[in-house]
Amino acid sequence: MELIVSSSIGVLTAGGIYLLLRLRTFPVILGLALLSYAVNVFLFASGRLAIDQSPILSRYGEASYTDPLPQALVLTAIVISFGMTAVLVMIGLGAYLESDSDQIDIEPDDDDPQDEGAA
Amino acid sequence: MSLAGTILLIIAVLPFVGALLPGLMIRAGRNACAIATAVPTALALTMLVVLAPAVLRGEVIQAELEWLPQLGLSASFFLDGLGLLFAGMILGVGLLIILYARFYLSGDDPMGQFYTYLLLFQGAMLGIVLSDNILLLLIFWELTSLSSFLLIGYWKHLPEGRQGARMALAVTGAGGLAMIGGMLILGNIVGSYNLTDILQAGDQIRASEWYLPALILILLGAFTKSAQFPFHFWLPHAMAAPTPVSAYLHSATMVKAGVFLMARMWPALAGTDEWFYIVTTIGLITMVLGALIALFKDDLKALLAFSTVSHLGLLTMLLGFGTQAAAVAAVFHIINHLTFKAALFMTAGIVDHETHTRDIKRLGGLRHLMPITFLIGMVAALSMAGIPLFNGFLSKEMMLEEASHTDWWGSPYAVPVMATIGALLSVAYSLRFIFHVFFGPVRDDYPSKPHDPPFGMWAAPALLVTLVVIIGVAPFLAEGIVTAAANAVTGADLHPHLKIWHGVTPALWMSIIAVLGGAILLTMHTPLDRVWNALPRPEAKAIFDRLVEAIVAAARRISDDTHNGAISRYLAIFTVASVGLGWIAYSSSGLSAPTRGLLPVPPVMAVGWVMLIVATISVVTMHHHRFRALVLVGIIGLSISAGFAYLSAPDLALTQISVETVTIMLLLLALHFMPKTTPKESPMGLKMRDGVIALGAGGGVAALAYAFLMRDIETISDYHLANSYEGGGGTNVVNVILVDFRGYDTFGEIIVLGIAGLVIYAMMHALLDGPAARRLKNTDYSQDRSRDRHPLMMVVVTRVLMPIAIVVGLYIFLRGHNEPGGGFVAGLVIAIALLMQYMASGFAWTQERQRIEYHTMIGLGVVIAAATGVGAWLLGRPFLTSAYAYVHLPPIEEFELATAMLFDLGVFLTVLGAVMLMLYSLSRIARFAGETVNVDPMDYDPGENTQDEAER
């Protein structure tokens, strides 16, 4: 199981980073989403893996539980990363609508007087 | 703390408090403003006088306030002889400068600003001389650099003022940085940052192998501040400041800070060969060079500036000698230089003020026009020249006496000869100040008709030259303070006797040679001046400017290469650097042996894993088709929720699955306005590079995750598990952590989420007001539209589902404390139920039925959560402490009421409001883009037709 989880984290990270490095906004947003998955699972896994040990206290005698703290942290992280993705989507959308291009790289603006001074 | 200690603290704080006054008082007029500035200074000076007798007796007054004890930083002050001398100078001259500036500044100058800067600077300087902690001293040291920048650049409209201020800041600031390094080393050697401890550990410091680096770094700080060669060039450029600033900064305070530091550190650092050769040599060079340049400067203030450089060199040299007698001479000369140089700067300011020029070549003959100014200027300049009966003579004799028996690199002549030359040049430029400005025929081409200024303007310099004469005639009057200060510098018990006549000594002969030679040199000034001007000289400002330009160009190249505006480049650099650091950490420390075994993999999980891997790879390879990629992302999210569910995290599974739904909806909405495909434009090389980076990072993260998954850790979660039911009243530990143990975190997080929602809403509005609005109106989106946008089946199903979904949401919310669920998930579930209405029945139809604005919902949520926390306060418990009780109400089963539930309600409302506001904002754009609005739930209303038929 550990191998499955860690390899999934690795594949998600690799895919996320590759997409983050693309030159258009949409793939970057997708990349960020993948990377958020990877990070959330990574944080979750820092509590180590356990099966059938949900951190819901049993009313009927002793039981063992998995580490609840990373779960609590990841739960809010999932919601926050949704908020972050949404803001990013809006920024990307705004940039596209304003400039009619969804390219990531900023073309140097020839009208900029400072650049002329430097050149 | 003793009474004296308290007074000392008040003295240190007064100028900073006082700095608040002038800005306010300027509204009451210029006199009120000047008085408001003078009062705190005078008050501090009075308190200092009260403390003085004790210090002169040899006591050391101390005051300490703990500040950051973990860093060895405390706000501790002490007052010994040296501190008393400098504090007296700073406050005394400060008072005179405040008076002088009142008359010097014209009506156009913002006086309130000036006095505020002046008091800030005064406070910083006082801090330096009173600090008992070198870290505190460093803070004040930097403060002087900053506040002097404001003062030097006070005339913002003058380019020279701005450049001079920048140069002063760059040079002294850089020196200050070096000094921080030196002081930290010093603190490390001694093991304490307390000055008192450091001064007693001189032997330990000098024996340390870190002595030389510390010495060089500290001296860099002192030399830049005190304008020692080769950093002397900033001081003349700082003369663009108003004259009161020059008189204050460059006679009494700022430049003396470097000298003060060397004097202060004298017991700890002096006495070694390194100290002697570095400090003495630099001081000697500066003294001679400064005097030489001063002789040929035509600008009165430039002449005085270089003469200041020269005198600072003299002081540095004396401290460099490392003998006790030299230290006495240095302390005495500090006092004398202050009196005559401040008077001279003020005289130059008066001349400038009255004649509107400072060019010596355009002056002359002012003796008759400005008799009072002439008298003041002449006495001060004669003192600077070292003529008997004025105080400058006394300390110069002591300096020459010390120089006459100093060996330098085996040669007994080098230092005395150079010192005599320095003294000779000093006589020459001092006499030039007198003769070329005040003597000679009266001219009729002054830019303005000169006459003596009002009393207020010459009162301050007059007082100073009175001191010059008094000390010059009766030097024993200054013995007390000189003794106290010299004892503080050397740490010895000295009893120097200051007198005019020492008998016929070598120093007397050197003095005679200097005076006669200087007078002769002045007679030859005109031809010499021509030669000097013909000679090629390195222009310090040009060199400095080129140096700064080169540094700026280099910095710009680096930032242009790394920060070229493309996020992909930053991210690539960041990723590579992180992986590199991880690799370094791994290869330098290694790993312990694994302590855990592998868990079994059931077939379902293996299938899920394959799905996840395939979907991820497909997203990467097929991301050019954006819709397809989105669908695949949905698959990944679902696989992950399944994983959470299997790995004992039911709450996470619930959250993930609902967030997943919302995210995909959001992306779909956004995609509506964006291109549906990504062009294939990356060159192969770029793809390969990114691929390698991505695989490296992925591999690294996977290895890291695997490494820690195979090892056990200590966790603090046992506490949470043990106290969840007893303390928090819930059996769902994750939920109890969220709303109770770490409720404060959650509170912050819902605020962040609320802000994100508002940000999106604000951006939507900004977009619809900008050029994007036109583009939206002109683009035809009808291609993307479905023919039947509100299908009958969907409308009916969502209507039926709505109450069910709400009940489910409520159920999830209510059980959250004990079973998987809670505010986060409930908020998301209800949001999805509402979204379904939007999608099925249309925007306008749903909007019409909305009762609460989403903004209000966010605000309400945060307020409820906060009120829950504050409620605990009211009961005298810490913020967000929860209380609970089990209630039994027949016929319902026993249930629980907890304040945490109320907090969770806040979470629920905020999540719901934020999510809805985000999606609402995107739909607003859609409506703006010409999406038709339907007020009826369906494009086609079956009910209407049946009615028609019935009528027919």
The model's pLDDT over B844-864, given as tens digits with 9 standing for 90+, comes to 777 777 778 888 899 999 999
- Identify the pLDDT of residue A118: 37
pLDDT at A111 over 80: no
B230: preceding bond cis by omega (within 30 degrees): yes
Interface contact A95, partner B, CB < 8 A: no
Tokens of B162: 């701005």
**Residues B731, A57: C-beta atoms closer than 8 Å:** yes
Measure the CA–CA gap between B572 and A20, rounded to whole angstroms. 9
Interface contact A91, partner B, CB < 8 A: yes
Measure the CA–CA gap between B644 and A75, rounded to whole angstroms. 11
- Tell how far CA B727 is from the center of its chain: 44
Write down the pTM of the prediction: 0.69
Residue A102: its chain B contacts at CB < 8 A? 674-675
Residue A113 pLDDT level (bands cut at 50, 70, 90): very low
Q: Burial letters for B125-140: b for 16+ Cβ neighbours within 10 Å, e otherwise?
A: bbbbbbbbbbbbbbbb
Are the C-beta atoms of residues B329 and B278 closer than 8 Å to each other? no
pLDDT at A50 over 90: no
Residue A115 pLDDT level (bands cut at 50, 70, 90): very low
- Identify the pLDDT of residue A116: 37
| Single-letter code of the amino acid located at A68 | P
Residue B764: its chain A contacts at CB < 8 A? 90
Residue A84: its chain B contacts at CB < 8 A? 756
DSSP alpha helices (H): ranges in B710-822?
717-723, 733-736, 743-769, 771-778, 792-815
Q: Which residue on chain B is closest to A119 by alpha carbon?
A: B553
**Residues B772, A97: C-beta atoms closer than 8 Å:** yes
- Identity of the residue in A3, A49, A82 whose CB atom sits nearest the CB atom of B659: A82
Residue B701: its chain A contacts at CB < 8 A? 9-10, 13, 38, 42
Residue B757: its chain A contacts at CB < 8 A? 83, 86
Q: Burial letters for B578-603: b for 16+ Cβ neighbours within 10 Å, e otherwise?
A: ebeebeeeeeeeeeeeeeeeebeeee
- Identify the pLDDT of residue B1: 65
CA proximity to B232, closest of B159, B300, B292, B162? B292
SS3 label, residue B6: helix
Segments in chain B below pLDDT 50: 952
- Identity of the residue in A40, A46, A86 whose CB atom sits nearest the CB atom of B666: A86
CA proximity to B349, closest of B242, B212, B213? B242
- How many residues are recorded in chain A? 119
**Residues A97, B776: C-beta atoms closer than 8 Å:** yes
**Residues B568, A20: C-beta atoms closer than 8 Å:** yes
- Identify the pLDDT of residue A109: 52
- Identify the pLDDT of residue B423: 92
